[in-house]
Amino acid sequence: MNASDGGDAWAGVDPDDAGAVVARALELHHPAIALASSFSMEDCILMDLLARRRKDARVFALDTGRLNPETYECAEAMGARCGLRVEWFFPQREPVEGLERGKGLFSFRESVENRRECCGIRKVEPLGRALAGLRAWITGLRRGQGVTRTDLRVVEPDAAHGGIAKISPLAGWTFDRVKAYVRDHKLPYNRLYDQGYTSIGCAPCTRALRPGEDERAGRWWWESPDHKECGLHLRPGP
């Protein structure tokens, strides 16, 4: 932590101690802070850490209309386990209908621009509504997830959303550490992980990994790794 991460408010917090990061984030920002959960293993860990500190901690999720059944099952199981209420946000009906009527059901596979258009409608716009009125949000991002996240900080201003604080308590964790926490604490998790998935988004845009591939190779596998962000996690330029 340093001055650019929020000044003295984070002094003394070990950035590798996810529980301490979550506790300080709640202390500073609750109730104007929420976890954005896609019910990845990382997000399940964060739900567990939140619930251990506040049962009224806020969690929201984006239902794009194209999630896997296993994701919904994990959402129900984690909500029951943690006792946290999940606030669901959906895309606006008219843009979804316009996209599918005008370009079909799989236009996102035709170009990066088309894929970003779909993500913008199904994810980015609902996220903007979910973050409205918040001072901070919590994510399950990690540096090891791909080349677009290697410089991720635990706490940083989110320029794409008015400069609110973006907090990633697991930024320095490895995937092995994530799996160990889930196992040791017997947390529910998305069963697609057992089929070789390591990053799970919309069903048509996600597949299991092949031998030797990196963690996010199963997301938008027809694109270059440099493009593998949907727009939810835009990073500042140099």
Identity at 18, one-letter amino acid code: A
- Contacts of residue 47, Cβ cutoff 8 Å, sequence gap at least 6: 35, 37, 59, 78, 82, 84
Q: Which amino acid makes up residue 109?
A: R
- What are 59's two structure tokens? 């969690």
Place of tokens 């591939």: 213
Helix (H, G, I), strand (E, B) or coil at 61: strand
* 178 close to 186: Cβ distance less than 8 angstroms: no
- Lookup: tokens for 227: 């493009």
Q: Looking at the annotation, which residues are catalytic?
A: 230
Instruction: Look at residues 8, 53, 7 and name the one whose alpha carbon lies nearest to residue 33.
Output: 53
